[in-house]
Structure 1
Amino acid sequence: MKKNIVLFVLFVLPIVAYLFFASGVNSFTKLPVISNKIPDFGPWESLRGEKVSLDKKITILGFGGAEILKNRGNLFNLNEKIYQRYHTFNDLQFVMVCPLGTEEDIKHILDALDEFTDVSNWHFVFTSPENINNYYSQLGLKGTLDAHSGTPNVFIVDKERNIRGRNGTDDYKESYNTFHPADLSNEMLDDFKILLYEYRAALKKNNNASKQL
């Protein structure tokens, strides 16, 4: 009898525990959609003359505002806490929408980041403040831009152009504040990992796992 109990504890119980937690993981690995199918960018200028699109990319989306040089610490926080960990993934991009006239400010920021970071996956697009405010108004969010067409908050956008976050009654989160490193290190990193797990699980299910997400 004792031998059977020992065998149960050693072999059967771990399997039961694994199945229990595995089913729990499957239930909690979908990051909720906050806003469906947001618009793609217009024919806006980019710093490198490239076409920047939200389609088929996981995007960390931000709005730099006219005072982006003054608030460059926010970009440095995002760079340190999120960008440096994940920027090598093929399906991921970091995009900041900025007002025309801030191009030189962006170059100064990128020069500073380039001293310790590969900045090739930072993308900046430029358009008028009117276009920025109009675009933001179409995102269906509770937050707003400031008087300089910017915000310290960034958004997680999936490959289908859906903004992801937390939609619970007591835990609603549509964006992540780059001014607070703890917000990036804790909530944003946790949510971002869930989205990555989603895509990785889908790739494995389709027997198509690769270096991509």
Structure 2
Amino acid sequence: MKKTTVLVVLFIFPLVAYLFFASGVNNFGRLPILTEKVNDLPQSPDSVKLDGQITILGFLGNKIEQRKGNVFNLNQKIYKRFNGFKDLQFVMVAPEGSEENVQALKKELGSFTDTQNWKFVYSTPSEIKELFESLQTNLNLDDSLFTPYVFIIDKERNLRGRNDDEDEGVKYGFNTSSVADLNNKMEDDVKIILAEYRLALKKNNADSSQ
């Protein structure tokens, strides 16, 4: 009896768990589209665009020094976990004139992180507001053009999120002031959208080889 119990724990339970989670990815592995076709980014010297990329989009505002904690939280909990995945970029939008402060922030990040996939885009206040409003969320930018929330944008420029969140109902973004929100919700949702595109790529490759 004891040997049977050990075998179940070591072999059968992990197999059942794997099949359960594998079926979950296949059946429930799409992150809902909350807003279609948000605005693309303002023109930048580095030609950073939303089209064709999975983007974590944030709005830094012009008080960069006060927002370092938010960026560092996102960096530690999400960026380091997923940096290196193809077609995934982290984009922070900041007002024109904040370039020097942003570069100082990026340099500080670079002391403990590979910042290759951190992208910073500068624009006018009106363009920043237009971009944010195109997300069509229930959130707001503050007077400095900052929000602690970041957003998942897919390759077709659709805002992805949750339409049945247990706490918020419709969850448009993830609060970088809350480590719990990043750990418990955003990490899961980023996994889902990456898996969605990987599965689509595998299917396309399989179809093209037939």
TM-score (norm 2): 0.84
% same residue: 52
Native 8 Å contact 2:60 2:94 kept in 1 = yes
Cα RMSD over matched residues?
2.4
Cα 1:144–1:16 change in 2 (3 A) is closer
**Alpha-carbon deviations, 1:14-38, whole Å to 9, x = none?**
9999777654432211110111111
Native 8 Å contact 2:89 2:119 kept in 1 = yes
The answer for the alignment partner of 1:4 in structure 2 is none
Cα 1:106–1:15 change in 2 (3 A) is closer
Distance 2:174 2:16 in 1: 37
**Alpha-carbon deviations, 1:27-67, whole Å to 9, x = none?**
21111011111111222x4xxx3101001000000000011
Distance 1:129 1:73 in 2: 23
Cα 1:205–1:137 change in 2 (3 A) is same
Would you say 1:27 and 2:27 are equivalent positions? yes
**Alpha-carbon deviations, 1:73-109, whole Å to 9, x = none?**
1000101111112221220110011011111111111
* SS in structure 2 at match of 1:70: helix
Alignment of 1:56-205 (within 5 A): 56-168=52-164, 170=166, 171-205=169-203
**Alpha-carbon deviations, 1:100-144, whole Å to 9, x = none?**
111111111111111111111111111111221122112211111
The letter for the 2-side match of 1:161 is R
Aligned length: 194
Deviates more, 1:96-105 or 1:128-137: 128-137
The answer for the alignment partner of 2:4 in structure 1 is none
* SS in structure 2 at match of 1:118: coil
Distance 2:147 2:17 in 1: 44
Q: CA deviation at 1:162?
A: 0.6
Q: List runs of 5+ in structure 2 lacking aligned partners.
A: 1-7, 9-13
Would you say 1:41 and 2:62 are equivalent positions? no
Distance 1:15 1:71 in 2: 44
Higher helix share: 2
Find the structure with the greater CA-based Rg: 1
Q: List runs of 5+ in structure 1 lacking aligned partners.
A: 1-8, 209-213
TM-score (norm 1): 0.83
The letter for the 2-side match of 1:189 is E
* SS in structure 2 at match of 1:199: helix
Distance 2:154 2:56 in 1: 9
The letter for the 2-side match of 1:174 is Y
Cα 1:52–1:21 change in 2 (3 A) is closer
Distance 2:117 2:20 in 1: 39
